[in-house]
Structure 1
Amino acid sequence: MQSQWGIMHGTHTTPVGRVRDGALDLLKWLALLSMVLDHLRYVGLSLDGLYVPGRLAFPWFCLAIAANLHRTRNAVVTGHWRYLGWLLLFSVISEVPYRMFIDDADTLNVLPTLALGLLVARGWQQKALIDRGLALIALILGAVFSSQLMFGFFGVLLPLAMLLVFRRPWYFSVLPGWVCVAANQWQILLNSGSVVALTGLVACLIAPLAGLMLLQYAKNVSPPAMRRWAYALYPLHFLLLLLLRKALA
């Protein structure tokens, strides 16, 4: 394996917004699939084993954020504000379907965590005062409201940890791997000692490396482009799974 990821050394400054990255689209689709598999555990069937592939969803969404920031680091910044706006909008839209499906939810849905993580990662990448200020606010919010955020404070840090790996040798993926482990209640999983829990921890640890390998070696794939309409899939999948649970009851 090469000592450096090829995707980390682009030096062109040509706008990249119109160029689809097939590997990145594939990563997003696989993250979505992992999330759906994870949530299938709540439809009333004995599907506890789906917890393991479900651990890939959040780190791969964070990696997608980091990859978008890296690809557009020299592009017009308005795209990043639109990105944040869509995350915030669907954070609100998704909360009711999320709580309808997860009856005992004790955190917000995952999108607020991703929105704060985007601000933190962008604040590290950009030197503008507004970006650094928003990143600091996001860090403070992540720390103060860690128990209300899905994946907590370490979840807010994960997009930044992913972004840092883009300019490092492949083995640096252990950094976001450990951040991902910390974001997934590792103490509870470790104390559980079950095969599913321990395998889930391993999945958290290797998810960043697996995602980076996919971005590196799946450049020739051409999955359907995941555009803005894909945000609606998040609240929609909760409603569809809720209907499935009622049908199986």
Structure 2
Amino acid sequence: MHGTETIPVRRVRDGALDLLKWLALLCMVLDHLRYVGLSLDGLYVPGRLAFPWFCLAIAANLHRVSRVPVTGQWRYLGWLLLFSVISEVPYRLFIDDADTLNVLPTLALGLLVARGWQQKALVDRGLALIALVVAGVFSAQLMFGFFGVVLPLAMLVVFRRPWYFSILPGLVCVAANQWQILLSSGTPVALMGLATCLIAPLAGLVLLRHAGQVSPPAMRRWAYALYPAHFLLLLLLRKIIA
């Protein structure tokens, strides 16, 4: 054995990023509790944190690209696409009048767009362009639409910039959340929802920058299964309540 050889060391997990993912998952579940048959409209407000924080998690993973093999990024995309398909049936069973696909196709396209901006290789730029075209053509069929696909890129662009740059992804998040309908509604819940969309990127960035000492359970690949599973569990809860 040569003296220069070293023992491989596992990459230290980012506890703040795991916390962000858990909080995003919690906010998503709270949002979907509005559909179990109880009067829980106020949960719409914390629910507006879920999608931007999942987009921020994508940006955070891409930001660490120099320490992550390219093959790992393709696996990331593969898991998103796989569970996009797996989750569609549970999603439609729970959301009876769903007029969009589940959220994972939006996140997968958003990953391609943000990755294309970052990597600059021809294949990555080409896939990003295709993703943008798909998002533009099928915006009505995608949850959070075209701006939802652009949001991970907006998060990545401001990831290491001063806090006030978070207004950019904040505005993109507002655009992704049917701001015209919310604004015209004028209800306190709608207006608080809009405000939450605007500040969600800043809140997530603050968490990532200042919660480095936390160590929640690691959110690994098994966590993808939580997305379709939570629809089935909430569907069961709705049947029990009914």
TM-score range, shorter chain: over 0.9
Indicate if the aligned counterparts of 1:91 and 1:111 stay in contact, CA closer than 8 A.
yes
For residues 200 and 147 of structure 1, what CA distance do their matches in structure 2 show? Answer: 21
* d(CA) in 2 for partners of 1:61, 1:148: 19
Q: For residues 110-167 of structure 1, give each alpha carbon's deviation from its aligned partner in whole angstroms, at most 9, with x where no partner exists.
A: 0000000000000000011100000000000000000000000000000000000113
Residue aligning to 1:98: 91
Counterpart of 1:165 (choices 158, 167, 186) is 158
Structure 1: gaps (5+ residues): 1-14
Runs of 4+ in 1 over 6 A off after TM superposition: none
- Determine helix, strand or coil for the equivalent of 1:73: helix
Distance 1:73 1:187 in 2: 40
For 2:22 and 2:32, the matched residues in 1 are separated by: 15
Q: Which amino acid aligns with 2:128?
A: A
The structure 2 residue matched to 1:78, chosen from 64, 71, 85, is 71
Q: Would you say how many aligned residue pairs link Structure 1 and Structure 2?
A: 235
* Aligned mate of 1:116, from 109, 125, 132: 109
Task: Say yes or no: does 1:52 pair with 2:45.
Answer: yes
| Runs of 5+ unmatched residues, structure 2 | 1-7
1:83 shift after superposition: 0.2
Distance in 1 between residues matched to 2:147 and 2:56, nearest whole Å: 14
Q: Identify the residue that residue 167 of structure 2 maps to in structure 1.
A: 174
Q: Which amino acid aligns with 2:198?
A: L
2:128 is equivalent to residue 135 of structure 1? yes
**Given the alignment of the two structures, is residue 28 of structure 1 paired with residue 31 of structure 2, yes or no?**
no
Which of 211, 223, 226 does residue 230 from structure 1 map onto?
223
Q: Which moved more, 1:158-167 or 1:57-66?
A: 158-167
The 3-state SS of whatever aligns with 1:107 is coil
Contact 1:16–1:72 (8 Å) recurs in 2: no
Partner of 2:62: 69
- The residue number in structure 1 matching 2:3 is none
Match of 2:208 among 195, 200, 215: 215
Q: Find the partner of 2:148 among 152, 155, 164.
A: 155
User: How much does 1:74 deviate?
Assistant: 4.7
CA displacement, residues 68-95 of structure 1 (integer Å, 9 cap, x when unaligned): 0001235321111000000000000000
TM-score by length of 2: 0.95
The answer to whether 1:184 aligns with 2:196 is no
Larger Rg: 2
What residue in structure 1 maps to residue 233 of structure 2? 240
Q: CA deviation at 1:61?
A: 0.0
- 2 CA distance for matches of 1:16 and 1:22? 17
Q: Is the 8 A contact 1:16 1:75 kept in 2?
A: no
- For the residues of structure 2 that align with 1:65 and 1:114, how far apart are their CA atoms? 8
CA displacement 1:30-52 (0-9 Å, x = unmatched): 00000000000000000000000
1:145 to 129, 138, 147: 138
1:16 is displaced (CA, Å) by: 9.7
Determine the C-alpha separation between the residues in 2 that align with 1:126 and 1:196: 40
Could you tell me how far apart the structure 2 residues matched to 1:146 and 1:207 are? 22
